[in-house]
Amino acid sequence: MMQDLMADSSSEWSLSLVTPLQNLFHRASRKSIRPRVEMACRSHDEFINCLNLCDKTNARKAMLNGQESWSTICHAFRTDEEFSEYILPCWAEHGDELSKKCHIHALMVQNSVMDILQNGVRDIQNNLGDLCRTIMIYDKCYIWQTDRYCGERGWRFLLGMNHKASVALIKLLSEYAFIERVPESCQQWTSPSKISQIKHPHFDFIYQYQKFRELLFIGHQP
């Protein structure tokens, strides 16, 4: 069902697994986005319930971790008024533009994931490092564009969601992929203490962008 909601081809579906917002907003509108999220979250709930009936294996844990982004989206949709009344409608209005501008970055993340899946533990160190770098590049694009169209409330939610998903991914790979040392590009996601202390690199990036945009606006005033 989620495949029907979010994509028209298997390649787009595999991309949406890596970057769930990318296809959710494709051709969405303010009127259509709420039903789409409701249906996606129902499918997410059914999948989680199904997984919880399975034996407690590493595969089950991996699949549950892979749903972290959707868990965050659905929880916010059901409990966070700011998300449902402001952030989601804004994303619906500008989602196509967001997806187009960051599509190449999403493909980079997808390719990094495919490298890990195809190569397994062979060269996992380098492949994981590449994945973390491409996630950062993708986050930077999507957060920049979200700030442009939906302001700070939008990009802060997106940053928090992406951070949770990244932490879950690195934790999973660290525990089960025989990684001797977490690559430097993944270090920021390795422990709760680092996350709580972090002044996320995207913060500086966003504030510098906002300052630059303000200067441009002032420069164009009569």
**From residue 67, how far is each of 46, 63, 142, 166 by CA, in Å?**
12, 7, 20, 11
Positive/negative CA dihedral, 196, 197, 198, 199: positive
Please check whether residue 222 lies inside any domain of the structure.
no
pTM value > 0.75: no
pLDDT band, very low/low/confident/very high, at 9 (cuts 50, 70, 90): very low
Confidence bin at 208 (pLDDT 50/70/90)? low
Residue 89 maps to a domain: yes
Burial of 49 (0-12, 13-18, 19+ CB in 10 A): exposed
pLDDT band at residue 133, thresholds of 50, 70 and 90? confident
List helix spans (H) across the chain. 2-6, 10-18, 20-24, 30-52, 58-66, 68-79, 81-82, 88-119, 124-176, 192-197, 201-219
d(CA 173, CA 178): 8
If one counts the domains in the chain, the total is 1
Q: Is 197 part of a structural domain of the chain?
A: yes
Mean pLDDT value across residues 209-213 = 52
The whole-number pLDDT of residue 214 equals: 53
The per-residue pLDDT for range 144-188, each reduced to its tens digit, is 888 888 888 888 888 778 777 777 777 776 666 566 777 777 776
The verdict on residue 215 lying in a domain is no
Q: Residue 110 has which token pair?
A: 């997808």
**Average pLDDT of the residues in 12-34:** 58
Question: Does the residue 139 lie in any domain?
Answer: yes
For the residues 26-42, what does the mean pLDDT come to?
77
Question: Token digits for 38?
Answer: 């409701």
Give the pLDDT score at 75: 92
* 147 belongs to a structural domain: yes
Structural domain contains residue 218:
no
Tell me the per-residue pLDDT of 76-122, one tens digit each, with 9 for 90 and over. Answer: 999 999 888 888 888 888 877 887 888 888 888 888 888 877 876 67
126 belongs to a structural domain: yes
Say whether pLDDT at 6 is over 50: no
Owning domain of residue 62? 2-209
DSSP per residue over 147-199, as a string? HHHHHHHHHHHHHHHHHHHHHHHHHHHHHHS--SS--GGGGGGS-HHHHHH--
